[in-house]
Amino acid sequence: MWLKNTLLIPIKPIYLRDDDHIKVHIFLCVTGLIFYRYLMWKLKKQDEPLSDTTVIENLEKIRVMLAKRDDEPVKIKYEEMDLNQMRLFSTLELGGALKKVNL
């Protein structure tokens, strides 16, 4: 595998010794980085003016609740969001993604 113009990031796990655990750790780190870059690309494509740190902070503050009563289907509820959280929620289409989850 040839890597051109890449930024090498040390991702060695501190507390893992087993090769399989290290491979899983690296896989999760790279997958998270790819997902993060995809989110940032999608926001930039839609001219969303939020910084990287603001995006992460606002996504962390979005709260979702699953409610189920007796035989009724599961309902998805959201806590109140501020303006930036609502913009991120709609821009990234998080509501549609959550409705597709198999509960």
pLDDT given for residue 8 in this prediction = 61
pLDDT given for residue 85 in this prediction = 92
At residue 64, the 3 state secondary structure works out as strand
pLDDT given for residue 102 in this prediction = 62
Q: pLDDT tens for residues 74-91?
A: 888 888 999 989 989 888
The tokens for 20 are 């399989």
Residues 37 and 56 grouped into a single domain: no
Residues 53 and 100 grouped into a single domain: yes
Burial of residue 23 (number of CB atoms within 10 Å: 0-12, 13-18, 19+): exposed
Q: Give a yes or no: residue 43 inside a domain.
A: yes
Considering only residues 100 and 72, tell me which one the structure prediction assigns the higher pLDDT: 72
Considering only residues 103 and 72, tell me which one the structure prediction assigns the higher pLDDT: 72
Considering only residues 73 and 14, tell me which one the structure prediction assigns the higher pLDDT: 73
Residue 85 domain boundaries: 48-103
* DSSP structural state of residue 71: T
Q: Give a yes or no: residue 2 inside a domain.
A: no
Q: Give a yes or no: residue 78 inside a domain.
A: yes
The tokens for 59 are 């996504």
- Report phi then psi at 68, rounded to 5: -140, 135
Number of domains in the chain: 2
Q: pLDDT tens for residues 26-62?
A: 899 889 989 989 989 988 898 888 888 888 899 999 9
Residue that the structure tokens 């690309």 belong to: 41
| pLDDT beyond 80 at 24 | yes
